[in-house]
Amino acid sequence: MAEPKADTPTGQTLTSDQWIKLQGDLPRLDCELTLCHILEVNRASILARPERSLSANQLVEINRWADALRNDVPFAYLAGEQEFWGLNLAVSPHVLVPRPETELLVESALALLQNGAGILDLGTGSGAIALAIASERDDAKVTATDISTDALLVAKQNAETLGIEVTFQESRWLESLTGRWQIIVSNPPYIDPADPHLAHLHAEPQHALIADEKGLADLRQIITEAPNYLANGGWLLLEHGFDQAQQVRLLLEQSGFQAVTSHRDLANIERVSLGQYLYE
Helix H segments across the chain?
A: 16-22, 28-39, 43-48, 56-70, 75-79, 103-112, 128-136, 149-162, 212-215, 217-225, 245-254
The residues in 179-208 that bind ligand SAM, with binding defined as CB under 6 A, are 187-189, 207-208
Rounded to whole angstroms, how far apart are CA atoms 80 and 4? 27
Binding of residue 128 to ligand SAM (CB under 6 A) = yes
State which of residues 74, 118, 125, 241 lies at the interface with ligand SAM (CB under 6 A): 125
Tell me whether residue 43 or residue 172 sits nearer to ligand SAM (CB atom): 172
- With contacts defined by CB under 6 A, name the span among 18-26, 37-45, 93-101, 227-235 that binds ligand SAM: 93-101
Tell me whether residue 34 or residue 187 sits nearer to ligand SAM (CB atom): 187
Strand order across the 118-122 sheet: 167-170, 141-146, 118-122, 181-186, 230-239, 270-277, 258-264
Rounded to whole angstroms, how far apart are CA atoms 272 and 136? 20
Binding of residue 151 to ligand SAM (CB under 6 A) = yes
Q: How far is the CB of 147 from ligand SAM (least distance, A)?
A: 4
Binding of residue 102 to ligand SAM (CB under 6 A) = yes
State which of residues 74, 98, 118, 275 lies at the interface with ligand SAM (CB under 6 A): 98
Size of the site for ligand SAM (CB under 6 A): 21
- Contacting positions for ligand SAM (CB under 6 A): 95-96, 98, 102, 123-126, 128-129, 146-148, 151, 172-173, 187-189, 207-208
